[in-house]
Amino acid sequence: MLYPEPIQDLVQELAKLPGIGPKTAQRLAFFLLNMPKGEAEQLAQAIIQARQRIRYCSECFNFTDADPCFICKNPARDAGWIMVVEHPKDVVAMEKTREFKGRYHVLHGAISPMEGIGPDELKIRELVTRLERVNPKEIVLATSSSLEGEATALYLARLLKPMGFKVTRIARGLPMGGDLDYTDEMTLTKALEGRQDI
């Protein structure tokens, strides 16, 4: 036995988090034990509160503490412009640009036959129902440019275009600051395909 049981438990629970191995878990556990007691309990309470108060928005399926979420209930956001993303964290990333004035739809994943995730495991049925209701003027597919993200975008395009919707895909190309020399061929191919008049 290396630790008293409560420390052992804490190390085990921390080690379940992504990117946290046994050594980091131990370091975090000792840090939590050395913190002022109130602060450690604030973290515990924040976890409990987040789990109790956060659920999916019934409209866009983003995380929210009120239904509909603050984006879906904001009249300044264009309800006719819908961006489809894989994860809630993608909404955060896009919001940071302050460029997108429409609303989101969070799929909670991407199609991945390898992991047994098909369209039914994602919020695609909910997307179709929503689109039929709001009849948007444009649907932007902003899934990632991984194999799974591309497959999901292709699936959605084939599903939604025959329904008469305008469907677009965010551009793939050279990232800002990117060097051609260090860019993989797939990215360069996409950058060439997506070239525009300047």
From the CB of 127, what's the least distance to a copy of itself, in Å? 19
The token duo for 198 is 């300047």
Strand partners, 140: 83, 168
Nearer to a copy of itself, 36 or 162 (CB): 36
Residue whose entry in the numeric block shows the structure tokens 């409209």: 59
CA distance 68 to 73: 6
CA distance 146 to 142: 11
From the CB of 159, what's the least distance to a copy of itself, in Å? 25
Asked whether 156 and 165 are in contact (CB, 8 A), the reply is: no
From the CB of 27, what's the least distance to a copy of itself, in Å? 7
Nearer to a copy of itself, 41 or 193 (CB): 41
Nearer to a copy of itself, 18 or 177 (CB): 18
Kindly state the helix (H) or strand (E) to which residue 131 belongs, with its residue range.
helix 124-134
Nearer to a copy of itself, 86 or 150 (CB): 86
Binding stretches for a copy of itself (CB under 8 A): 1-7, 9-10, 12-14, 16-19, 24, 26-33, 37, 39-54, 63-66, 69-70, 87-89, 92, 95-96
From the CB of 92, what's the least distance to a copy of itself, in Å? 5
Residue whose entry in the numeric block shows the structure tokens 């551009």: 171
Nearer to a copy of itself, 87 or 172 (CB): 87
From the CB of 62, what's the least distance to a copy of itself, in Å? 9
Give the dihedral of Cα atoms 158, 87, 110, 180; nearest 10 deg. 80
Residues 6+ apart with CB under 8 A from 106: 56, 60, 61, 62, 85, 86, 87, 88, 90, 91, 123
CA distance 20 to 24: 6
